[in-house]
Amino acid sequence: MTTLIAGTEVRVRGLLWEVVFTQAVGEQELYRLRCLEGGLRGQEFDLLTPFETIEPVTIDFNPQ
């Protein structure tokens, strides 16, 4: 997985999050995420990959 940049929307643990920042930690990558929905909205959370699965949200700019 490539490093995600700040502002990227991702799905983690069934919720929508925004990447705040990333930082290499040895062979892992630390992600600070801000929740965009649900009861955790506005709260920030740190996680390490590859121990957690982060799915980038793709947006279709060609609606039909």
pLDDT in tens, 6-24: 999 999 999 999 999 999 9
Give the C-alpha separation, 40 to 49, whole Å: 21
Quote the pTM value: 0.85
Q: What is the pLDDT of residue 25?
A: 93
**Structure tokens of 38?**
């649900």
Q: What is the pLDDT of residue 58?
A: 86
Q: Which amino acid is at 38?
A: G
Band (pLDDT 50/70/90 cuts) for residue 60 is confident
Q: Convert the pLDDT of each residue in 22-50 to its tens digit.
A: 999 999 999 999 999 999 999 999 999 99
Q: What does residue 31 show for φ and ψ, rounded to 5 degrees?
A: -120, 130
